[in-house]
Amino acid sequence: MTTYLLSAGSPDLIGPAARGAVIVAFLVFIGLCLLWVFTLATQDDDPERLHVAGRSLPPVLNGVAMAGEQITVVILVSMPGTIALFGYDGVSTAVDSALALGVFLLLAPRIRATRRYTLGELFSLRAEGPGTRAAGAVVTLCIAVPLLMVQLRAGGITAALLIGMPTETAQVVCTVMMGCLIMCFAGVADLRGTTFVQAAKVPVALATLTAVILVALRLFDWSPASLLSAAVDKSMSPDEYLGPGLWGHVTGSGPLNTLSDHIVLVLGTAMMPHLILRVSASRDVPAARRSLSIAVGLTGLFYLLLITTGFAAAAVVGSGPIGAVDVKGQGAPILLASEVLPHHSTSRVVLITLVACVAFLAVLTAVASVTFAAAVSVTRDLLGRKGRARIRIGQTAVLRLSVVALCAVSLLLTTAVHRYPIEFLLAFSLSLAATCVFPAVVYSLLWSGFNRHGLLWLVHGGLSLCTLLTLASPAVSGTTYALLPERDFNLFPLHTPGLVSVPAAFLLGWLGSARPWERITRDRHTVARPAPDRSAPGARVDSGRNVASG
């Protein structure tokens, strides 16, 4: 049995009268965005200016762009739908995502002080060597590729829903077209160019969400309480809507499963490679702190608007129609924008067009940021100076080729598995970041005894453990929302492995660095070896000779 993201009988949200105007306005917006991006592209070959904008970004601009890193298309279309369908569980997910920047705020000044901006370089703080840099590049790629697949898929499906063609063929075509456009953007962009686009996205997204919420509130006489009451009444389970446990992926493990999800979401979101690259573009440590303070405030406002949008979607549209279009609620923002105004009004066309433009900006910037950070890691960590000398390609050319290759591979994989629900890959990427990156960065910054053995044990052990536990979890088989719902080989009861993998990674890092068994063996040998007899003549002569020679 195949689980489709969109139902085959999904309604035409725009209507034939307004579809032409929406598509034309959307294409004009895409053209203007790409033209702007090409004007921002730099031809500078200096790695510092290319990778981290010469560490010269103003704090306010970098802070707004850092908030923009949180506005991805997956969050934009999934979070309101999750709240509309599952109430409290969706709100807790939004709160966890907002708290992630608070965790990053604790580590970001130390990261900026190291002047290193890839995982391989951070891992090399206390563990020099090509193996540690390669481990950083491998982790970055394992995080980036699944994340890119989910982002591209969500962007293509959103575009198909907007043009009123939710068929599988239309979804694939829209995904390929969006992917090719984004590949053109990412191929010429650098960190400074993506910064301006990210910064422009934030006010547009906040204004669009605010407009949708205000129009929805008008239907309830500007009463938030009436809106929330209507959301509860139109939910699939009014008695459980404002309580935990309504989300279908929560298994019988109950609180343990919820705790594992919280760990993965907070720590994983805080340790994404593109966030580390972003904070390294700050002028200095105080500027990094100020940028993060701005980002935390804007991100908190964004998630507050998302939560309100989710409740508004449930109140105006209803959980039933949202679930009929998409079992995970990813059509909720578009459904809400299409229902809050009369169907033949110009305002409705403008509102839907704004939602479409924000969704495109979210896909464009999210994919470009993740791809660029992964390409920088490949250039600096996987193909260092010796590797580039062997293939006789400069650093800038390697970066551009890596960006195009990563986009192409991700797009190919996305289209190949398009008929399967791959949203679990987002949780897998977050699990890898929480398991392999967070403990390694904490040890590298705070523990002087952390060494190469501990790092390799932590990274490779954490990567293997995350992969095995995810494959054996309900996210892959045995549940309605699984990748293979008709099969059941889940041996691990938790939806995400964070509750087990994160402590295990810390333990592996300590064991590999401290090696307590070697100390125990050395102490046993010391006790077993008899002490020399200082009263023996030979001992006195040897001692004297040693002193004389010294």
Please, how many CA atoms are within 13 Å of residue 419, restricted to the half-sphere of its CB? 6
In sequence order, the β-bridge partners of residue 282 are 57
Let me know: does 314 contact 322? Beta carbons within 8 Å. yes
What is the spatial distance between Cα 149 and Cα 521, in angstroms, rounded to a whole number?
Answer: 49
As a whole number of angstroms, the distance between CA 288 and CA 63 comes to: 8
Sign of the CA dihedral running 489, 493, 497, 501 = negative
Classify residue 285 as exposed, middle or buried by CB count within 10 Å of its CB (0-12, 13-18, 19+): middle
Q: How many residues does the chain have?
A: 550
Which distant-in-sequence residues (6+ apart) come within 8 Å of 395 by Cβ?
45, 47, 379, 388
- How far is 270 from 262, CA to CA, in rounded Å? 12
- Which helix (DSSP H) or strand (DSSP E) does residue 218 occupy? helix 191-218
Percent of the chain with pLDDT over 70: 84
71-85, 115-129, 176-190, 450-464: least confident range:
176-190
At 306, is the pLDDT very low, low, confident or very high (cuts 50, 70, 90)?
A: very high
Q: Residue for token digits 């939910």? A: 235
Sign of CA dihedral 376, 380, 381, 384: positive
Amino acid at the residue 487: R
Give the range among 80-84, 281-285, 380-384 with minimum mean pLDDT.
380-384
Q: Is the pLDDT of residue 5 over 50?
A: no
C-alpha angle with apex 481: 480 to 486, nearest 5 degrees? 45
Token pair, residue 485, equals 């719902």
At 487, is the secondary structure helix, strand, or coil? coil
Compute the average pLDDT of residues 366-392: 77
Q: Compute CA 386 distance to the chain's CA centroid, rounded to the nearest angstrom.
A: 31
pLDDT in the model for residue 206:
94
User: Partners of 57 in the beta sheet?
Assistant: 282
Distance in angstroms (rounded) separating the CA atoms of residues 493 and 251: 7
- Per DSSP, the three-state class of 488 is coil
Q: Are 55 and 48 in contact (CB under 8 A)?
A: yes
Does 196 score more than 80 pLDDT?
yes
Q: What is the pLDDT of residue 441?
A: 94
Banded model confidence at residue 2, pLDDT cuts 50, 70, 90: very low
Q: Which residues pair with 6 in a beta bridge?
A: 326
**pLDDT bucket at 549, cuts 50 / 70 / 90:** very low
* Distance, CA of 118 to CA of 116 (rounded, Å): 6
Question: Residue 478: what pLDDT?
Answer: 78
What is the tens place of the pLDDT at every residue in 218-257? 999 899 999 999 999 988 888 888 887 777 555 455 788 8
Start-to-end C-alpha separation, the chain: 81
- Whether residue 271 has pLDDT greater than 50: yes
d(CA 86, CA 248) in angstroms, rounded, equals 8
Alpha-carbon distance 226 to 17, whole Å? 33
DSSP state of 118: S
Strand partners, 484: 477
**304 pLDDT above the threshold of 90:** yes
pLDDT tens per residue, range 404-447: 899 899 999 999 888 888 888 999 999 999 999 999 999 999 98
- The pTM for the full model equals 0.86
Tokens, residue 452: 């190469």
